Amino acid sequence: MITFSFDGKHIEAEPGQTVGAALIAAGHRSWRLTRKDGKARGIFCGIGVCFDCLATISGGPNQRACLTEVRPGDVVETQEGAGHGDLAC
C-alpha cells in the first residue's frame, strides 16, 4: 500500500490505482467545487472525457483524478473553481 493525503487526511491506495479510484475507495465522492455555484463534483465518466474529477494534486490544479496514478506522498486537495485564485469566481 502507498499513502497520500487528501485535504490533510492520510489515505491508503493500491499501487497503480488512480487518485479518483483511491478517493472513492476511501469513501470520498467529491473533490472539486464548481466555479459558479460551488457545487460538489467527483468521478462522473471515469475515462477523462468530462473533467468533473479535476483536483489539485501536489500543487498542480486541474488534474484529472480519474487518469492520474496516485504516487506515494501526493498531496491532493479539493479544487475550488478553476484551481487558480484569480479565476475562482
Task: Encode pLDDT of 18-73 as tens digits.
Answer: 999 999 999 999 999 988 888 999 999 999 898 899 999 999 999 999 999 999 99
Mean pLDDT for the stretch of residues 76-88: 73
Phi/psi region, residue 51 (left: phi>0; alpha: psi -120 to 50; beta: rest), is left
Instruction: Please give the pLDDT value at position 85.
Output: 58
The topology under which CATH files domain 1-31+59-81 is: Ubiquitin-like (UB roll) (3.10.20)
**Average pLDDT of the chain, as a whole number:** 91
Q: How confident is the model at residue 81 (pLDDT cuts 50, 70, 90)?
A: confident
pTM reported for the whole predicted model: 0.87
Give the dihedral sign, CA 25/8/69/37: positive
Instruction: Please give the pLDDT value at position 84.
Output: 62
**Ranges of each domain in the chain:** 1-31+59-81
